Chains A and B, each alone.
Chain A
Amino acid sequence: MLNTEPALITEQHEYSSGENLSPPLTMAAFLADIEKKAYHMAAFATGSHADALDLLQDSMIKLVTKYQEKPANEWKPLFYKILQNRIRDWHRHQKVKNVLFFWKNDDKEDWLPTQEIDLQTDTPEKNMTKAQQQQAALGHLKQLSGKQQQCFLLRSWEGLSVAETADVMGCSQGSVKTHYFRAVTKLRTMMEDDHETTF
Chain B
Amino acid sequence: MKPPSNESITLKMAESEQKKVESSLNEALDHSAEKLSASALSDITQVRMQALKCLNENNSKKSYIDTVKNWLTMPSITMGLPAALAVIIAISVKYTALESIPELPLAMMITEVPNEDFAMLEDLEFVVWLAENEQSALL
> A: which residues have CB within 8 A of B?
6-7, 10-11, 27-28, 31-32, 35-37, 39-40, 49, 53, 56-57, 60-61, 63-65, 68, 113, 115-118, 131, 133-135, 137-138, 141, 152-153, 156-157, 184, 187-188, 191, 199
**A39 nearest CB neighbor, chain B only:** B44
Q: Is the interface of B mostly helix, strand, loop or mixed?
A: helix
Measured CA separation A114–B37 after assembly (Å)? 12
Residues of B within 8 A of A63 (CB): 51
Q: Known interface pairs A64-B54, A116-B35. Does A7 touch B59 (Cβ–Cβ under 8 Å)?
A: yes
Measured CA separation A64–B44 after assembly (Å)? 16
Question: Using a Cβ–Cβ cut-off of 8 Å, how many residues does chain B contribute to the interface with A?
Answer: 36
A118 to chain B, nearest CB (A): 6
Check B31 for interface membership: any CB of A closer than 8 A.
yes
Q: Assess the A61–B66 pair: CB atoms within 8 A.
A: no
Within 8 A of A (CB), among B22-56: 22, 24-29, 31-33, 35-37, 40, 43-45, 47-48, 50-52, 54-56
Measured CA separation A188–B19 after assembly (Å)? 10
- Chosen A-B contacts, 14 in total, with CB atoms closer than 8 Å, are A7-B60, A10-B59, A28-B48, A28-B52, A36-B33, A39-B40, A64-B52, A113-B29, A113-B32, A117-B31, A118-B35, A138-B29, A152-B25, A184-B22
Residues of B within 8 A of A184 (CB): 18, 21-22
Q: Assess the B33–A156 pair: CB atoms within 8 A.
A: no
> B: which residues have CB within 8 A of A?
16-18, 20-22, 24-29, 31-33, 35-37, 40, 43-45, 47-48, 50-52, 54-56, 58-60, 62-63, 66
Q: Assess the B54–A117 pair: CB atoms within 8 A.
A: no
Q: Assess the A141–B33 pair: CB atoms within 8 A.
A: no
Residues of A within 8 A of B43 (CB): 49, 53
Q: Assess the A134–B32 pair: CB atoms within 8 A.
A: yes
**B31 nearest CB neighbor, chain A only:** A134
Residues of A within 8 A of B58 (CB): 64-65, 68
A35 to chain B, nearest CB (A): 5
Q: Assess the B25–A11 pair: CB atoms within 8 A.
A: no
Residues of B within 8 A of A141 (CB): 25, 28-29
Q: Per a CB cutoff under 8 Å, which of B29, B55, B66 touches A64?
A: B55
Residues of B within 8 A of A113 (CB): 29, 32
Measured CA separation A184–B44 after assembly (Å)? 29
Q: Known interface pairs A116-B32, A187-B21. Does A27 touch B52 (Cβ–Cβ under 8 Å)?
A: yes
